[in-house]
A = this chain, B = another copy of it.
Amino acid sequence: MRQFLVVGHDAPTAPDFSLDDIAGGAGRLDVLCRCVNSAFFLSHDLREDVQVHLVLADEYTVSFDGAALRRLNPDERSTAALIRGALEEKQEAIGHQPVETSPGVSLYRMGVEATFDRVARDATVVQLHENGEPLVDAEPPEDPLFVLSDHHDFADGEADLLDGKADRRVRVGPKRLHADHTITVAHNYLDTDGYREY
Contacts and interface: CB of A to CB of B under 8 A. Distances in A.
Interface of A: 19-20, 22-23, 30-31, 34, 37-38, 41-45, 73-78, 134, 136, 151, 172-178, 181, 184-185, 187-188, 191-192, 195, 198
Contacts of A43: 151, 175-178
B76 A192 contact: no
Shortest 8 CB-CB contacts between residues of A and residues of B = A23-B75, A43-B176, A136-B195, A30-B75, A174-B198, A184-B184, A181-B184, A185-B188
A159 B174 CA distance: 34
Contacts of A78: 23
Given A30-B76, A134-B195, A173-B191, 9 more contacts: A23-B73, A41-B181, A42-B176, A43-B175, A43-B176, A43-B177, A76-B76, A134-B192, A174-B198
A138 B192 CA distance: 15
